[in-house]
Structure 1
Amino acid sequence: MDVNDPLSLLNFPDFKAMFRIDTSDVVINGNKLTANMTVNNYNIPYATKTSPEQVIGGVVGFQVKVVTALTDGQSCNMTMYNNLVFVQFVKRRQNDELNYVLKLTVPELDIEDKRFTSDDGIWHLINENKRQNYTFNVTVQLEVVPRVNSFASLHDDEELTDFELRGTDGSVHMHRAVLAAASPVLRRMLGGVWRETEEGCAEMPGTTRVTLQDLKNYLYLRTLPDTGVEELLLLSSCYMMPELEKRCVDKLVQNITPEKTLEMIEFAAKNKMTQLMLAVLDCVQSSIVRVADMRNHLQQPE
């Protein structure tokens, strides 16, 4: 093949293969991506190869790019392949105000838990090598960056609390400022001429005291409960708290099973929880949960 002859390139058996990174064994489990990537360099003076975009957690797109240039070795008549390996992380949702940190591990390139933030498309250089052909395994872990929280010291305070959230079986006392900072819905309620503003309390229909306490723990301490996450997710959606919603969805799909998959799909559809539905479908599409296993569960006698 004559690399200087465009027709020769077009007649190459797989012309597109020269300009792509082969990606296989892709598994996306909630906020974690693993994949194998193979780079094959051909006798081309200069080439840029990219991998298919993988969307992690439904919120961040991830790609790898390799730029390769050929040079002649100075001490011998050998062709040298100079490879520059880049990665890119880009938010996929419009008006996404959350911040994400991604931990990248690529053992074959001597990279372990290298941290990046999602941004507007910057390509980050992660490796330089002189190999002609090579394969590497990529692991990416996505995390939501909690907003700076200065309310932890007020979690156990009782003297300064000035607002009450009333559930079906009890109430939880909180600070107006904390509620207003957490939710634009609650801010409008607390700052307006609502009855709740004057009375210093708000009824939370269908919400138990345990769920209200879980909400308080998250707003003050940024912690999530081990159980009852679905109820907390409903509150986060109702009161427009996207960071809490994202963390609840992530927790629900961490240990998903065929039985839980069916329950979550029903729950998400009933309550119009779009992000949860998409996260569950991602698990099915990635074969983390197999349709055959879901079918077997449905066919079990009651």
Structure 2
Amino acid sequence: MQSSHTAMCHILVRFFKNCPKDNNTYSITLSSSKLSIAEKSFLSDDGTWHLIKEIDQVLAFDISVVMDTVHISSFEALYDDTELADFELRDEDGSVKVHKAVLAASSHVLKRMLSGSWRETKEGHVDVPGTSAQTLQHFKDYIYLRKLPNTGLEQVLLLASYYMIPQLEQKCVNKLVNSLTAQKTCDLLELAMKHKVNRLILAILEWVQNRGVEVKDMRSFFSSCTDNNCEELP
């Protein structure tokens, strides 16, 4: 893609599946010695054009792409099971019944907690402060069904980051970034910085760099904020 304002050439890539009935998730690793790119990874169907390089001239180059299937274990058959559910995720306003084996298979952090002598293992539940029963349900929906909600993704992202579930974290980031406005960009950047979600920080910066959101619009939003009272831009 040739920029109309400068002589810079922007090279972008988007990874998607041609078969809509393919429920597998794939990853690609992209490398190019000519472009000084080494093992840049992408997941399929994130819906995002990723800027991989800016160059000041159009030239011939070759790119190596390696594709792998991201193996996902399905626990859909256990989703509605309560008889064998042996653990709970709890918050102040409710709880969600789950299976320890499913949690352990989804997160090495949870596996270490559940296989050790932690208090939560003995009591059969873990308290997840700062979240909600709805967020916990969304979390269960993903680890059992691989489904993401249309709202409340920010809190699901924080859980994914806390329990170190990179695939869930990346999917939340992709979905959040794809619907950014100037105000949402500022709000999400604040959230990412506060909770040190580096994956989200980098995705936002890449989105702004690709002009998904204009810096001038973000500046307008910041200038409309006075005394911590921000008016939503039209």
Report the TM-score when normalising by structure 1: 0.56
- Distance change in 2, residues 1:123/1:259 (3 Å): closer
Count of aligned positions: 191
How do 1:204-219 residues align onto structure 2 when only pairs under 5 Å count?
204-219=128-143
Amino acid at match of 1:229: L
1:24 equivalent among 2, 6, 9: 9
CA apart distance, 1:262: 0.6
Identity across matched positions, percent? 45
Query: In structure 1, how many angstroms separate the alpha carbons of the residues matched to 2:196 and 2:45?
Result: 28
Corresponding residue number in structure 1 for 2:117? 193
CA apart distance, 1:27: 5.6
Amino acid at match of 2:152: G
Query: In structure 1, how many angstroms separate the alpha carbons of the residues matched to 2:208 and 2:143?
Result: 32
Match status 1:223 vs 2:171:
no
CA apart distance, 1:185: 1.1
How do 1:111-126 residues align onto structure 2 when only pairs under 5 Å count?
122=64
CA apart distance, 1:287: 1.2
Amino acid at match of 1:205: P
Query: In structure 2, how many angstroms separate the alpha carbons of the residues matched to 1:252 and 1:102?
Result: 14
Corresponding residue number in structure 2 for 1:36? none
- Structure 1: unaligned runs, 5 residues or longer: 1-21, 34-58, 66-88, 94-98, 104-120, 125-141
Between Structure 1 and Structure 2, which shows a larger proportion of helix residues?
2
Equivalent pair of 1:211/1:228 in contact (CA under 8 Å):
yes
How do 1:223-302 residues align onto structure 2 when only pairs under 5 Å count?
223-300=147-224, 302=231
Amino acid at match of 2:138: D
Corresponding residue number in structure 1 for 2:93? 169
Between Structure 1 and Structure 2, which shows a larger proportion of strand residues?
1
How do 1:39-118 residues align onto structure 2 when only pairs under 5 Å count?
60-61=29-30, 91-92=39-40, 100-101=43-44
Query: In structure 2, how many angstroms separate the alpha carbons of the residues matched to 1:250 and 1:298?
Result: 24
CA apart distance, 1:190: 0.9
Equivalent pair of 1:101/1:145 in contact (CA under 8 Å):
no
Query: In structure 2, how many angstroms separate the alpha carbons of the residues matched to 1:62 and 1:289?
Result: 27
Q: Residue deviations 1:179-222, cap 9 Å, x none?
A: 00011111111111111111111111112100100010000000
CA apart distance, 1:280: 0.3
Q: Residue deviations 1:107-135, cap 9 Å, x none?
A: xxxxxxxxxxxxxx8469xxxxxxxxxxx
CA apart distance, 1:32: 6.7
Root mean square deviation of aligned Cα: 3.2
Query: Whose radius of gyration is greater, 1 or 2?
Result: 1
Equivalent pair of 1:163/1:174 in contact (CA under 8 Å):
yes
Equivalent pair of 2:173/2:199 in contact (CA under 8 Å):
yes
CA apart distance, 1:288: 1.3
- Distance change in 2, residues 1:123/1:168 (3 Å): closer
CA apart distance, 1:298: 2.3
